[in-house]
Structure 1
Amino acid sequence: MITITNSPQSQTIDTKRNWLRHAPPSVKLVYWVLERDGPASPQTLLEATLLPKRTIRDAVADLDAAGLIERRPNPFDARSVTYHPVESNLFPMR
């Protein structure tokens, strides 16, 4: 797991972009899918990325610890959650 020294609230966009730049490829992929497609369930991330469940779980944990995503209850199924990107445009178009 990647550690963050600052609290997520005090991080600037550049700090978050820099953190993401140094994150593992799986973390970048999961965040990119969330930023591109919007909120997603774990199953949706699994289908969109073709990554193993454990890798998705670890990537989501890293992104959550970094303050880049939020976990919210799924409005259609209270037993599950959806992941929402907190920031937008961390992957700017070149």
Structure 2
Amino acid sequence: MSTTEAVAPDEESTDRWDPVREMPPSAKLVAKVLDYNDTLTQSQLAEETLLPPRTVRYALSRLEDADVVDSRFSFTDARKRLYTLAI
């Protein structure tokens, strides 16, 4: 029985990333960067990933469509959105 208990946490961790597995590499990279950082803006994500802003926008839209990323308006600057990983 202890072997099934040891396998269960691994299955949970793989299930966590299942919605991201079939996405483009840029979306996977953005998701991983958000996993390491709590909350980032789109420009911060572009800086961290070294991806062009347009590619980051596309990756974020794909991640939002799959409910992998949550976004909200920044209280300090309403023009910016803050992104967090939802999985």
Q: Taking structure 1 as the reference length, what is the TM-score of the superposition?
A: 0.73
Determine which structure has greater relative contact order: mean sequence separation of CA pairs < 8 Å that are 6+ residues apart, divided by chain length.
1
Unaligned runs of 5+ residues in structure 2 are 1-11
Q: Percent identity?
A: 36
Higher helix share: 2
Q: Taking structure 2 as the reference length, what is the TM-score of the superposition?
A: 0.78
The answer to whether structure 1 residue 68 and structure 2 residue 68 are counterparts is yes
Give runs of ≥4 in structure 1 deviating > 4 Å. none
Whole-Å separation in 2 of the counterparts to 1:23 and 1:61: 11
Whole-Å separation in 1 of the counterparts to 2:21 and 2:69: 16
Unaligned runs of 5+ residues in structure 1 are 1-11, 88-94
Aligned counterparts, 1:1-94, within 5 A? 14=15, 17-87=17-87
Whole-Å separation in 2 of the counterparts to 1:73 and 1:19: 24
> Larger C-alpha radius of gyration, 1 or 2?
2
